[in-house]
Structure 1
Amino acid sequence: MENVFLKYMRERVGKTDNPIAAQSEGPVITISREYGCPGKRIAKYLSEVLTEKLKRQDSNKEWRWLSKEIIDESARELKLSPQLIKDLSEYKNRTFFDNLALFFSDTYYPGDVKINNTIANFIYTAASEGNVVIVGRAAEAITKNFKKSFHVKLMAPLEWRAEIISNTYGKTISEAKKEAMEMDRRRAQFRHYFEKDVPDVEFYDACFNCREMTDDEIVELIVIIAETRGFI
């Protein structure tokens, strides 16, 4: 299946070949997650384990993980605040007065297409550098063509996720459920820009149930696959 981001870029510049494609090596591991699943925690732990394995091989290379940096760098590129970029890219509902304030603001306000493609460009560039774990932001679609790539989705039943959200943010279970469903909807809306109507199975190589599996188990399985595929 062709990467939607690459297809867009080729059509935009009117070329059949993308100069970045030749560099699409990786390795890159992407982690998508339902709201309430520990994507950042798993990414941090995974990058530490992979780095430690490289050190044992007398390698000075390191694995890094990216999440907040994606928004920060995109905000810098667009000359907007990270919070605004985060809200816009997550399709956060804005009131009429919020939109009116943005319209009359002295600050340049780019459309969704420019925001999404700025985020995608940062992810693609970071993945091209290799040895990176990327959390969220449709990274699985943006880097699907990479020769060395592995794409994971973290899932769990809504009730379990609501308990995690409730305990973390001091919300009622009912409020936590609503927040989880809303965040899942907004994240899906962002991914749809790149994935269109292509089913998830085309993008993810493995899905893990966070209610049934510990962080150690999830990371260990990902590391085994990374070793098998020659990432380390």
Structure 2
Amino acid sequence: MQEKTIITISRQYGSGGKEIAELLAEKLGVRCYDRQILYLAAEKMGDTDVDIESILESAYQTPDSSIGSMSTYGLEAVPYYNKMYREQAKVILQIADKGSAVFLGRCADAVLKEDPDCYSFFVYADEAFRRERAKTHYGSQSLKELEKENKTRERYYNYYTGQKWGDMQNYDLMINTSKLSPEAAVDLILGYIEKRDPK
């Protein structure tokens, strides 16, 4: 494994991506960044008194008007009325610049696209697996509710990155967790990194 290794995990809601990201970070002895990015971005924006739900709600905002996609090349071009994405991107870049880390979501794969030490993975699963997981891990939600969350993520990602969420060309590897344990998925990811850039 390289001295500096940045891993981004994008995932379908209900596929187990969060668990995989946390296991990866634990195995590598680094931090896993997910919602912490939101809090750090809110802090930089001076919104320290905003409650958690408000921060989460603002994190996925996109303009109501359709004015096209925003590219990660030129973060300053992101509209002022939604500073959250811009601040999250800055936080991600700052953390990645300091050393190894695992990022879960937050468009980190697009933000760090040009980083030679970054490896990006997309975790997904079939409907039957996610339907069952929705019952056991998400407070008995329905698959329809999970898909609604996926649509929100997709719309946000597509708008701000100018890329298509879940498009295989954006990732090093796509992993179907339907018949793969989180531990096996972690081994697959680490094995890929070792094989791609043996040191």
TM interval, shorter chain, is 0.7 to 0.9
Q: What is the aligned partner in structure 2 of residue 207 from structure 1?
A: 174
Indicate if the aligned counterparts of 1:154 and 1:207 stay in contact, CA closer than 8 A: yes
Give the 3-state SS of the residue equivalent to 1:111 in structure 2.
helix
> Taking structure 1 as reference, are residues 198 and 184 closer, same or farther at Cα in structure 2, changes over 3 Å only?
closer
- Pairwise CA RMSD: 2.3
Match of 1:85 among 30, 55, 66: 55
Picking from 146, 155, 180, the partner of 2:124 is 155
Shift of 1:195: 2.6
Distance 1:140 1:118 in 2: 16
Q: How does 1:216-227 map to 2 (within 5 A)?
A: 216-227=183-194
* Matching residue of 1:66: 33
Largest Rg, 1 or 2? 1
**Separation of aligned partners in 1, 2:61 and 2:134:** 20
Query: Counterpart of 1:126 in 2: which secondary structure?
Result: helix
Q: Unaligned stretches of 5+ in structure 2?
A: 63-79
User: Where does the alignment leave 5 or more consecutive residues of structure 1 unmatched?
Assistant: 1-24, 52-62, 93-109
Q: How many residues align?
A: 176
Give the conservation status (yes or no) of the 8 Å contact 1:140–1:151: yes
Three-state SS of the structure 2 residue aligned to 1:141 is helix
Report the counterpart of residue 21 of structure 2 in structure 1. 43
1:89 Cα shift? 1.8
Question: Once the two structures are aligned, what percentage of the paired residues are identical?
Answer: 27
Structure 1 residues 165-209: Cα deviation after superposition (integer angstroms, max 9, x where no partner)? 1222333xxx51121111001111121133325572231111111
Letter aligned with residue 193 of structure 1: Y
Q: 1:36 to 1:123 in 2, by over 3 A?
A: same
User: Which residue is 1:188 aligned to?
Assistant: 154
Amino acid corresponding to residue 206 of structure 1 in structure 2: L
Are 2:94 and 1:116 aligned?
Answer: no
User: 1: distance between equivalents of 2:125 and 2:36?
Assistant: 26
Instruction: Provide closer, same or farther for how the CA distance between residues 43 and 198 of structure 1 changes in structure 2, counting only shifts above 3 A.
Output: closer
CA distance in 1, matches of 2:22, 2:153: 21
- Paired residues of 2:168 and 2:174 also in contact (CA < 8 A): no
Higher helix share: 1
Contact 2:61–2:156 (8 Å) recurs in 1: yes
User: 77-86 or 150-159, which moves further after superposition?
Assistant: 77-86
| Separation of aligned partners in 2, 1:35 and 1:66 | 17
Instruction: Give the Cα–Cα distance (whole angstroms) in 2 for the partners of residues 129 and 228 of structure 1.
Output: 24
Matched, 1:127 2:96: yes
The letter for the 2-side match of 1:213 is: L
TM-score by length of 1: 0.69
Offset from partner CA, 1:136-188 (integer Å, 9 cap, x none): 011110001001111001101123212211222333xxx51121111001111
Distance across 1 between alignment mates of 2:198 and 2:153? 28
- Structure-2-length-normalised TM-score: 0.79
